[in-house]
Structures are given as C-alpha cells and as structure tokens.
Amino acid sequence: MTSDFQAEPAGVEGGGGHISVMSREVDELLGLQAGMVAVDCTLGLGGHALMMGERVGSGGRLVGIDQDDQAIVRARQRLKGFSGRLDIVKNNFRNISDVLNGLGVEAVDAVLFDLGVSSIQLDDPLRGFSFRHEGPLDMRMDTTAPVSAATIINTFSEEELARVLWQYGEERFSRRIAANIVKARAASPIETTADLVKIIMRSLPFKQSREGLHPATRSFQGIRIAVNQELAAVEGALDAAYSRLKIGGRMCVISFHSLEDRIVKSKFRSYALNGSATILTKKPLRPTPQEEQANPRSRSARLRALERIL
C-alpha cells in the first residue's frame, strides 16, 4: 500500500518564520487552563509550547522534550518570557516516563506530540534530511546518535535496504533502488543527499520519475525513520504518556504520514475499547485550506485527540 502522506513537506516550523501546525485546533482540543501541567513531547522551536505556556500561566508548569540540541537552544529563547515553571529536557520522547520521574512529576493534564520534522532540520543542508538540498547523508534528529543515513546506505545489505525502503517508505521500487545503491557504493561510498537522489532517479521508470511526488520522497522517508527508529519510539511513547495523564487529561498527536497515523489510531482505539478514554476526534482533523495555503508543509498533517476518563 502506498502512503498518501508526504515525508518532505511535513511539520513546518520555519522557513523565515515559525509556523506551528494546527495550533488553533490543538489549543481547543487540549483545553488547557491556568495552573495545569502540560508536556510538549516534541518541543521543536517552541511554537506549540508557547501557546501551551500562555494557557497554563504563571501558576502552571510546562515540560518540553526534544532530542535536537539546536531546537532546544531556539525554543528556550522563545519561551524565556514564560512566567510559570519551565523544564526543558534533551531526550527522546519515548523516555517521557524517565523525564517526568526525574522532574518529580507524577501526572499531567495534557500531552502533545507533533511528529513532523522541524524546519531547522529540513532546511539545513548539513543535517541531510532533505532531497531538495545537497548535504551529507545524516538525518539524525539527535546528532550524537551513532547511526546516520550514511551508515545505513553504505553498510546495510541489499535485502536490508530494500526492507527499509519498503517497510518505512512504502516505496514500490525498493528492490531496484536497493540494488542500485549496492552497485554504486561498490565503486565509492555514497556520501551526499544529491548522490542518493541520482541513484533513486535512475532506478525508477521514466514515467514514475516525472509524475506526482518527488521521486526521492518515499526513500528519504524510509531511511529517516530507520535512522531515528521513529515508529518504535512513537508506539512506546504513546503508552508511556497516556499512563501519566490525569483523569480528564488530554492528549493530542499530529502525524504526517500514514505509518505513524496507523499507530496513533490503533493506540487510541485500544484505550477507548478498554473504557479508559474517549476519542475526541472521530476522524483525524486536517489543516484548513487557508492554513495549507499559508503553510504548504502542513498539508500532510493529521490530528487525533483523546481524553482519559478512567
């Protein structure tokens, strides 16, 4: 099954200015009030967190989690005016329980996950996330992590590469691309995003390479997900975050491709079926046409929300 979501233009926080996806809808669904405790599990540049901080006010507490050092620096600057208690922690959101334990927080009123790639990652060629900019094959959200895109591209077997491209990128020509990657790296290591794009382009049928999505979209998505172990992180993080919600607490998740959204949908359904939660979004909310026009990278966003009742 081919994904109907797009990997490259997802989760914007920038270009020239910070634009947080579906902020109005997140604000309404979280229902934050003064004095509450809120967690932004994907702090990014702090746009959603800024809104959350305004709602909980000086008597509230805001916890921000991110694994990207650059994002943390910029978010801290953006949130410097928040008058309540602010805790910003560098970590993967899958470790939310450890983060909250370390801060002495037992339960929270609201949790937000915005699973999109930040603009400071997409728009910086040196981070290697984008097929639109030439840069080193990196794609690590945490730049201290040991495995980069170059590691995967230059060391994985042909079978492993095909699996990554198909399972995580839903790339129908995964085997052909994997074979050409192995062939190319036998001559010399594949080191840049541009090198990889060229290999992908010549692996696809002419018509396929000229229509619809950029030809590298799905492959780059698959490699990025593998580098950062994103799907496993999402699944574990949702359970961990849900376990810390107070009765009446709410969780919002914005996802940008079908693989993540399926996990969110399944998890939310399981919480509802055991009688402990009410799903607030019968179908995922989408950005308005006005938001998509103002912020094209928002067009793949899907927002789901629930409230814990037991």
Residues 239 and 112 both lie in one domain: yes
Where is the domain boundary, 191, 208, 228?
A: 228
Q: Are 184 and 196 in contact (CB under 8 A)?
A: no
The predicted model scores a pTM of 0.91
* CA 306/CA 304 separation, integer angstroms: 7
> Could you tell me which residue, 292 or 9, shows the higher pLDDT?
292
- The answer on pLDDT for 104 being more than 70 is yes
- The answer on pLDDT for 117 being more than 80 is yes
| pLDDT tens track for 48-79 | 999 999 999 999 999 999 999 999 999 999 99
Residues 113 and 164 both lie in one domain: no
* Amino acid 105: pLDDT: 98
* CA 86/CA 96 separation, integer angstroms: 16
Alpha-carbon Rg for the chain in angstroms? 20
Domain membership of residue 124 (yes or no) is no
Domain membership of residue 1 (yes or no) is no
Tell me the two tokens of residue 92. 């993967």
The C-alpha angle with vertex 233 and arms to 72 and 166, in degrees rounded to 5, equals 115
| pLDDT tens track for 240-295 | 999 999 999 999 999 999 999 999 999 999 999 999 999 999 999 999 999 999 99
Mean pLDDT is lowest, of 180-184, 199-203, 205-209, 240-244, for 205-209
Q: Domain containing 86: what range? A: 23-119+230-308
- The answer on pLDDT for 211 being more than 70 is no
* CA 52/CA 215 separation, integer angstroms: 38
Task: Work out the mean pLDDT of the chain and round it to a whole number.
Answer: 92
Residues 134 and 210 both lie in one domain: yes
Number of helices (H), then strands (E), in the chain: 13, 7
The enclosing domain of 301 has a CATH number of 3.40.50.150
pLDDT bucket at 15, cuts 50 / 70 / 90: very low
Residue reference for tokens 């399926």: 262
